[in-house]
């Protein structure tokens, strides 16, 4: 029994926020949604950051373009990713030999596959390896060419035993059907979904016009074909500034005759790539690199595959939710009682498109640059998304320039760290 308790103590010490000291178990302050939402004025004591924090020093991406007819329809997947990696190294002025690993979601370097959250999983894997001491610098990337990797209904041959288990069978449902299931089960109306789509396009168009994506986007040359000249692509081409409720109402449901999911309120199929450079804080400071953000936590959870769109609501309880389908987006906002002004402030996947493997990595840059613009009004941010076959994932980031001192923060008395972890393990772990 004593050995078991000791093992538990070691485990909880690993989960303890890095700024806590082993001697302060009874007075340690913890992060919870209500505290995170309060910004820099939160009742949460923050001591000086330590050198082994995992920080993001650079993040960039390609434009997100429509599959088969957009700016990258003639560009190979490798040619999407290579310039992004080069830009990342140039921004940090790093020698490639300094990078311990590159984790990609679809090409042969070291690969990871968690479907829609593959890019985010790659970033989380690199952060974990740096934290574990395997290396000090790593790159997490996401890549998807849905033009080349054609998405077709159905899957290959599966074990016939799958038919005997409802939830296993539901893992094979088309994503559009799961969207309809969410809308039907949780009462999300067609009008609510269309309004979410309008908001997404308008916000993305406004953000583009104001130049908000210039820091994160890099130009990519699309080779074209035949006698056409190469074209440099820099702007996301799926955004429709003139989207309105009247036009969306004319679109017919795609997946069910009596359904509500249409081509206008679902994410587009797209091509794109993104990359995130992570390293130890001490090394970033030694190199004089800017710190965009601090990687704080990651979680992936399982949900009923028939309604996989509820994944973000289960994975985490803080705002920034990826909207693959409007039904999912509306449900998660309602379920978590999120402030609409803090969710997808620059639009979401309905406007940009959703290049499956790339979206998670793309969102990291979009989130951190937006947090930087908000300054002290935005201390923590979350990227959250549903995942095909019944999962949800979320990652927590802290604003880069907020991780050292908070002059206006105040300490609060709470129960011991261990008691909180044991009594509310999931909430405490996800709220770090």
Name the residue among 313, 330, 305, 315 with its Cα closest to residue 389.
305
In angstroms, how far is the first alpha carbon of the chain from the final one? 28
DSSP letter assigned to residue 293: E
Helices 118-132/359-374 angle, 10° precision? 70
Q: Is 60 a catalytic residue?
A: no
Catalytic, out of 36, 60, 65, 116: 116
Please answer whether residues 122 and 104 qualify as being in contact, where contact means their C-beta atoms are separated by less than 8 angstroms.
yes
DSSP letter assigned to residue 273: E
Q: Is 116 a catalytic residue?
A: yes
Task: Give the pair of three-digit tokens for residue 411.
Answer: 């300490």
Catalytic, out of 60, 240, 332, 354: 354
Task: Give the pair of three-digit tokens for residue 231.
Answer: 């074209």
In sequence order, what DSSP letters do the residues of 59-86 get, joined into one string? EEEPPPEETTTSTTTT--HHHHHHHHHH
Q: Tell me the C-alpha distance between 26 and 125, whole Å.
A: 31
Beta carbons within 10 angstroms of residue 149's beta carbon:
16
Q: Tell me the C-alpha distance between 116 and 76, whole Å.
A: 20
Beta carbons within 10 angstroms of residue 284's beta carbon:
26
Q: What residues contact 381, with CB distance under 8 A and at least 6 apart?
A: 293, 318, 319, 320, 367, 368, 370, 371, 396, 397, 399
337-365 residues labelled b (16+ CB within 10 A) or e (exposed): ebeeebbbbbbbbbbbbbbbbbbbbbbbb
Q: Is 354 a catalytic residue?
A: yes
Give catalytic residue positions: 116, 354, 386
């Amino acid at each position: 029994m004593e050995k078991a308790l000791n093992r538990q103590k070691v485990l909880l010490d690993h989960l303890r926020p890095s700024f806590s000291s082993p001697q302060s178990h009874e007075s340690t302050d913890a992060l919870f949604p209500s505290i995170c939402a309060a910004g820099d004025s939160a009742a949460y004591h923050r001591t000086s950051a330590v050198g082994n924090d995992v920080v993001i020093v650079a993040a960039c991406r390609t434009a997100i373009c429509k599959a088969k007819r957009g700016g990258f329809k003639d560009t190979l997947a490798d040619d999407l990713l290579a310039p992004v990696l080069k830009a990342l190294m140039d921004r940090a002025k790093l020698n490639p030999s300094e990078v311990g690993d590159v984790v990609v979601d679809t090409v042969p370097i070291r690969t990871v596959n968690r479907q829609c959250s593959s890019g985010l999983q790659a970033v989380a894997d690199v952060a974990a390896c740096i934290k574990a001491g395997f290396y000090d610098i790593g790159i997490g990337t996401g890549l998807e060419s849905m033009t080349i990797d054609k998405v077709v209904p159905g899957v290959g041959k599966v074990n016939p035993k799958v038919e005997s288990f409802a939830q296993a069978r539901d893992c094979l449902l088309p994503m559009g059907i799961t969207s309809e299931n969410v809308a039907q089960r949780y009462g999300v109306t067609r009008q609510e979904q269309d309004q979410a789509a309008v908001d997404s396009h308008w916000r993305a168009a406004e953000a583009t016009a104001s130049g908000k994506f210039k820091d994160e986007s890099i130009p990519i040359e699309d080779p074209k074909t035949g006698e056409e000249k190469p074209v440099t692509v820099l702007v996301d081409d799926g955004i429709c500034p003139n989207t309105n409720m009247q036009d969306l109402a004319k679109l017919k449901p795609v997946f069910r005759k009596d359904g509500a999911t249409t081509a206008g309120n679902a994410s587009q199929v797209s091509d794109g790539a993104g990359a995130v450079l992570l390293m130890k804080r001490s090394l970033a400071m030694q190199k004089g690199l800017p710190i965009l953000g601090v990687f704080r936590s990651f979680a992936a959870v399982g949900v009923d595959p028939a309604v996989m769109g509820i994944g973000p609501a289960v994975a985490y309880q803080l705002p920034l939710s990826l909207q693959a389908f409007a039904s999912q987006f509306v449900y998660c906002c309602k379920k978590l009682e999120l402030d609409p002004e803090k969710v997808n402030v620059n639009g979401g996947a309905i406007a940009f498109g959703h290049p499956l493997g790339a979206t998670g990595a793309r969102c990291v840059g979009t989130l951190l640059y937006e947090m930087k613009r908000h300054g002290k009004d935005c201390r923590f941010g979350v990227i959250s998304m549903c995942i095909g076959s019944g999962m949800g994932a979320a990652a927590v980031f802290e604003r880069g320039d907020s991780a050292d001192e908070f002059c206006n923060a105040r300490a609060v008395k709470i129960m011991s760290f261990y008691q909180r972890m044991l009594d509310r393990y999931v909430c405490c772990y996800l709220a770090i």
